[in-house]
């Protein structure tokens, strides 16, 4: 198969087959067409159709009858597949008018000249819709004479004209063309070779409305006296260079650079400076040397000495964009464009300062109007810019933190509310809680105010808000920007287990499990905090007795939370206080038993059962002999209560047996010596006994967050199954166990 011309994408070169058919006898013409038709229907070969030869210096013609039959019989069948045509200008009309090509977006046309431009690139052309609405990439090979090769690349957003050969010095003359020729409302960049300065200026007479970058190479220094009216110079950067004669050798090898010569850089800078505003040099120049000059200029502009110039530039740019927007239809797009530019500028500034009055006023105006706008996209973009501003400038954080808190309470859209909460969290991560000292905290400390802030929004029972708060708290705790407390830890634990009875994904579960595993190993104070949290869960939330089945279900989830904390406190790798070496399970057991003995309200069979079910999961084998004896005495004291239900008596007996077993093991290991020299972890010689005794406790000890997560999930499943087996329709009496007399108690509830 013949290959495509240089510069053309790989595609189906139809020219090779048509050329063969051009030389084929008429008797075999039908067979050739059938073979061609079969191949052309393949979608793989019909995305790109090439009607020219590989040798661009000798473009061959195709027999008219063959071309007509191909157009009528084949193109009408594959027109949906075609995306890219490569053909000569003389057959362009025959191909493009034969049918519609809905997916056509790219053209490459050979033997293009000024007459073709006047005929087909105007509003009267039959291809008007194709050129102005479909084609995004148009390559025109100019051929004024047979030995002239000049390329015009025209795309929706990029229009470039280059002349790689100097055999002939002919370029397109644009100054005499009508304003509707080569006009575009979307073109923003133009690279072009023209005859003289008049042709350059004629490009700026309004035909290219959105032009912002113009790179021009001029063939002739001569200009005519008549100059066109320039209408669109504002905001346009012009880089102008002059082609110098004698750049090629006698061997016709063209070794010129496409960039302007160094001698023309001064003129380019001089001419460019005549247009306002003077824009920053862009690296979108053709020459590497020019690129280096621009990079050096940009580096100088980014120095500390030019901070005022940068602020003035961004202020002017934003104002210019706002002033250009005259149509309400583009108001949203214009505003988002401004906010995006402002955000990028803010994030690029290492030390953003708001001492510049004009910039500060402009940002204040944009943020105020954006937050009060009814469009959600504009509000979201404004919050994103506000977040960048507050995180990169402490001064801005102090000024806007109160406004951010007010916005969070006012916004009703959940997505925007989460974005505002996330902004508050990011500001605390960057600047710390000290940033809150400049606002009225209602006689609260910064830590108390932050805790109340998160509790209030967490209680709104929205899963997106809860997710934002929970993982924001994890970041604040691990970065030491917020002092952890029981209330906030319980928020994370509640999201991990209950979440208003809605399951979270496994990745979030694992992340929270890993957080607690890491958190409890950070310090002894964190161990004590988890210990306090566990007691709070057991004593305040576990013994639910209510007529509502949902409360009973929540009790099951609280029980799972308690077991999770107990497993955390069972980890043998935790830090310990060397002064007393008291195990956290010992503290919990003593506090729970004392709360039963010291409070009359706790003398109920349900509460006692809940406490004992928790205590029997404690790791007694790691307690000292004296500690075990204290717990045993307190457990035996429970037998003094009259009319205990059988289930409570069995729990007491089970705990007594565990403690007695541990005491016997201590006696055996110490050889009846009263000095208990055991460490918290078992000695190497006692691994077998420890394993045997440890196996009697459920859940058993673990050493990794993955196992901890799996066992906790299994507890939840078991509790759910237990709840289903017992049923949730049972009626619970809140006053059922409010007396010390257990004579009439029944065990049906348990």
DSSP calls for 80-143? TT--EEEEEGGGHHHHHTSS--TT--EEEEEEE-HHHHHHHSSTTSTTHHIIIII-SEEEEEE-
Per residue in 469-516, pLDDT (tens digit) is 999 999 999 999 999 999 999 999 888 887 655 667 888 889 999 999
**DSSP letters along 244-283, please?**
PS--S-TT------SSPPGGGHHHHHHHHTTSSS-PPP-S
Average pLDDT on 444-448 reads 90
Q: Are 415 and 464 within 8 A, CB to CB?
A: yes
When pLDDT is cut at 50, 70 and 90, the band that residue 613 belongs to is: confident
The 3-state secondary structure of 542-576, one letter per residue: CCCCCCCHHHHHHHHHHHHHHHHHHHHHCCCCCCC
Q: Which of 497-511, 615-629, 664-678 has the highest mean pLDDT?
A: 615-629
Q: Name which of 23-27, 515-519, 561-565 the model is least confident about.
A: 23-27
Q: Which helix (H) or strand (E) holds 238?
A: strand 237-242
Q: What pLDDT does residue 20 have?
A: 55
Average pLDDT on 707-711 reads 52
When pLDDT is cut at 50, 70 and 90, the band that residue 234 belongs to is: very low
Question: Phi, psi at residue 104, to the nearest 5°?
Answer: -70, 125
Average pLDDT on 69-73 reads 81
Q: What pLDDT does residue 179 have?
A: 63
Q: Name which of 106-115, 268-277, 381-390 the model is least confident about.
A: 268-277
When pLDDT is cut at 50, 70 and 90, the band that residue 267 belongs to is: very low
When pLDDT is cut at 50, 70 and 90, the band that residue 282 belongs to is: very low
Average pLDDT on 514-524 reads 92
> What gap in Å lies between CA 240 and CA 272, rounded to an integer?
8
When pLDDT is cut at 50, 70 and 90, the band that residue 308 belongs to is: confident
Residue 14 in this model has a pLDDT that exceeds 70: no
HSE, CB side, 13 Å, CA atoms: give it for residue 236: 26
347 to 361, 365, 388, 646: CA distances (angstroms): 19, 19, 7, 69
Average pLDDT on 416-429 reads 93
pLDDT higher for 104 or 282?
104
Residue 655 in this model has a pLDDT that exceeds 60: yes
When pLDDT is cut at 50, 70 and 90, the band that residue 258 belongs to is: very low
Kindly state the DSSP code that residue 369 receives in the 8-state scheme. H
Q: What pLDDT does residue 42 have?
A: 61
What number of other Cβ atoms are within 10 A of residue 381's Cβ? 23
Residue 233 in this model has a pLDDT that exceeds 50: no
Q: What pLDDT does residue 302 have?
A: 55
Q: Which of 334-348, 454-468, 588-602 has the highest mean pLDDT?
A: 454-468
Q: What pLDDT does residue 350 have?
A: 63
Residue 4 in this model has a pLDDT that exceeds 60: no
Q: What pLDDT does residue 426 have?
A: 93
> What gap in Å lies between CA 3 and CA 480, rounded to an integer?
65
Q: Is 285 helix (H, G, I), strand (E, B) or coil?
A: coil
Q: Name which of 105-119, 126-140, 642-656 the model is least confident about.
A: 126-140
Q: What pLDDT does residue 429 have?
A: 93
Q: Are 406 and 440 within 8 A, CB to CB?
A: no
Per residue in 569-584, pLDDT (tens digit) is 888 888 877 666 677 8
Per residue in 384-405, pLDDT (tens digit) is 888 888 888 888 888 888 888 8
Is pTM, for the whole model, over 0.95? no
Q: What pLDDT does residue 637 have?
A: 86
Q: Name which of 258-267, 288-297, 428-437, 646-655 the model is least confident about.
A: 258-267
Mean pLDDT of the chain: 68
Q: Which of 39-43, 418-422, 595-599 has the highest mean pLDDT?
A: 418-422
When pLDDT is cut at 50, 70 and 90, the band that residue 520 belongs to is: very high
pLDDT higher for 4 or 396?
396
Q: What pLDDT does residue 511 have?
A: 92
Domain ranges of the chain: 1-112, 142-247+257-286
Q: Which helix (H) or strand (E) holds 306?
A: none
When pLDDT is cut at 50, 70 and 90, the band that residue 545 belongs to is: very low
Q: What pLDDT does residue 218 have?
A: 65
Average pLDDT on 205-224 reads 60
Q: What pLDDT does residue 499 have?
A: 61
> What gap in Å lies between CA 76 and CA 98, rounded to an integer?
7
Nearest alpha-carbon partner for 398 in 427, 420, 356, 423: 427
Q: What pLDDT does residue 424 have?
A: 93
Nearest alpha-carbon partner for 398 in 407, 389, 408, 410: 389
Q: What pLDDT does residue 731 have?
A: 34
> What gap in Å lies between CA 151 and CA 224, rounded to an integer?
26
> What gap in Å lies between CA 191 and CA 612, rounded to an integer?
84
pLDDT higher for 733 or 210?
210
The 3-state secondary structure of 132-197, one letter per residue: HHHCCEEEEEECCCCCCCEEEEEECCCEEEECCCCCCCCCCCCCCCCCCCCCECCCCEEEEEECCH
Q: Name which of 350-359, 505-514, 528-537, 547-556 the model is least confident about.
A: 547-556
Per residue in 154-168, pLDDT (tens digit) is 433 333 333 333 333
When pLDDT is cut at 50, 70 and 90, the band that residue 600 belongs to is: low
109 to 132, 175, 302, 615: CA distances (angstroms): 16, 23, 45, 87
Residue 708 in this model has a pLDDT that exceeds 60: no
């Amino acid at each position: 198969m013949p290959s495509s011309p240089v510069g053309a994408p790989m595609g189906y070169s139809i020219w090779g087959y048509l050329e063969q058919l051009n030389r084929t006898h008429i008797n075999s013409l039908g067979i050739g067409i059938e073979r061609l038709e079969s191949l052309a229907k393949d979608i793989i070969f019909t995305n790109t159709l090439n009607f020219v030869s590989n040798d661009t210096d000798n473009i061959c013609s195709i027999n008219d009858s063959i071309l007509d039959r191909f157009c009528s019989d084949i193109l009408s069948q594959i027109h949906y597949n075609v995306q890219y045509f490569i053909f000569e200008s003389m057959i362009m009309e025959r191909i493009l008018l034969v049918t519609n090509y809905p997916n056509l977006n790219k053209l490459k046309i050979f033997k293009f000249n000024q007459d073709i431009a006047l005929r087909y690139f105007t509003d009267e052309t039959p291809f008007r819709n194709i050129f102005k609405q479909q084609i995004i990439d148009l390559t025109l090979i100019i051929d004024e004479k047979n030995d002239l090769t000049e390329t015009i690349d025209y795309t929706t957003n990029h229009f470039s004209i280059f002349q790689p050969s100097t055999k002939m010095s002919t370029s397109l003359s644009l100054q005499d063309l009508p304003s509707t020729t080569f006009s575009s409302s979307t073109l923003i960049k133009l690279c072009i070779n023209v005859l003289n300065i008049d042709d350059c200026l004629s490009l700026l007479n309004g035909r290219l409305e959105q032009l912002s970058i113009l790179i021009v190479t001029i063939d002739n220094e001569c200009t005519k006296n008549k100059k066109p009216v320039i209408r669109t110079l504002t905001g346009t950067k012009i880089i102008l260079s002059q082609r110098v004669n004698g750049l090629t050798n006698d061997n016709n090898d063209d070794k010129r650079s496409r960039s302007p010569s160094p001698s023309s850089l001064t003129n380019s800078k001089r001419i460019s400076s005549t247009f306002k505003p003077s824009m920053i040099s862009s690296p979108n120049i053709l020459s590497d040397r020019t690129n280096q000059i621009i990079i050096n200029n940009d580096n100088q502009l980014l120095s500390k000495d030019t901070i005022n110039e940068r602020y003035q530039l961004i202020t002017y740019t934003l104002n210019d964009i706002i002033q250009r927007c005259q149509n309400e239809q583009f108001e949203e797009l214009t505003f988002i464009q401004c906010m995006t530019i402002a955000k990028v500028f803010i994030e690029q500034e290492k030390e953003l300062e708001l001492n510049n009055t004009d910039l500060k006023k402009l940002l204040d105006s944009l943020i105020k109007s954006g937050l009060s706008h009814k469009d959600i996209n504009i509000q979201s973009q404004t919050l994103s810019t506000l977040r960048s501003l507050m995180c990169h400038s402490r001064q801005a954080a102090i000024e806007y933190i109160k406004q951010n808190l007010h916005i969070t309470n006012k916004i009703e859209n959940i997505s925007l509310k989460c974005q505002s909460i996330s902004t508050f969290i990011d500001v605390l991560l960057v600047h710390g809680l000290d940033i809150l000292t400049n606002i009225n905290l209602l006689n609260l400390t910064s830590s108390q105010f932050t805790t109340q802030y998160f509790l209030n929004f967490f209680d709104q029972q929205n899963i997106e808000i809860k997710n934002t708060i929970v993982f924001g708290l994890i970041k604040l705790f691990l970065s030491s920007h917020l002092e952890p407390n029981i209330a906030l830890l319980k928020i994370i634990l509640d999201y991990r287990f209950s979440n208003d009875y809605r399951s979270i994904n496994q990745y979030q579960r694992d992340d929270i499990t890993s957080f607690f595993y890491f958190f409890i190993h950070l310090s002894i104070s964190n161990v004590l905090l988890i210990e306090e949290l566990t007691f709070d869960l057991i004593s305040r939330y576990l013994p639910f007795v209510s007529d509502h089945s949902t409360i009973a279900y929540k009790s099951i989830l609280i029980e799972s939370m308690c077991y999770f904390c107990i497993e955390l406190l069972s980890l043998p790798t935790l830090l310990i206080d060397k002064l007393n070496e008291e195990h956290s399970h010992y503290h919990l057991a003593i506090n729970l038993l004392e709360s039963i003995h010291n409070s009359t309200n706790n003398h109920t069979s349900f509460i006692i059962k809940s406490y004992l079910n928790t205590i029997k999961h404690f790791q007694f084998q790691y307690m000292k002999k004296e500690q075990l004896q204290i717990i045993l005495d307190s457990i035996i004291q429970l037998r003094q209560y009259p009319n205990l239900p059988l289930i409570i008596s069995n729990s007491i007996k089970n705990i007594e047996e565990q403690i007695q077993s541990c005491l016997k093991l201590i006696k055996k290991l110490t050889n009846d010596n009263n000095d208990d020299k055991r460490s918290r972890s078992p000695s190497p010689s006692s691994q077998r006994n420890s394993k045997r005794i440890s196996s009697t406790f459920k859940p058993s000890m673990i050493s990794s967050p993955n196992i901890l997560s799996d066992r906790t999930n299994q507890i939840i499943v078991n509790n759910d199954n237990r709840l289903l087996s017992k049923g949730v329709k049972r009626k619970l009496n809140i006053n059922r166990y409010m007396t010390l007399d257990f004579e009439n108690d029944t065990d049906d509830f348990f």
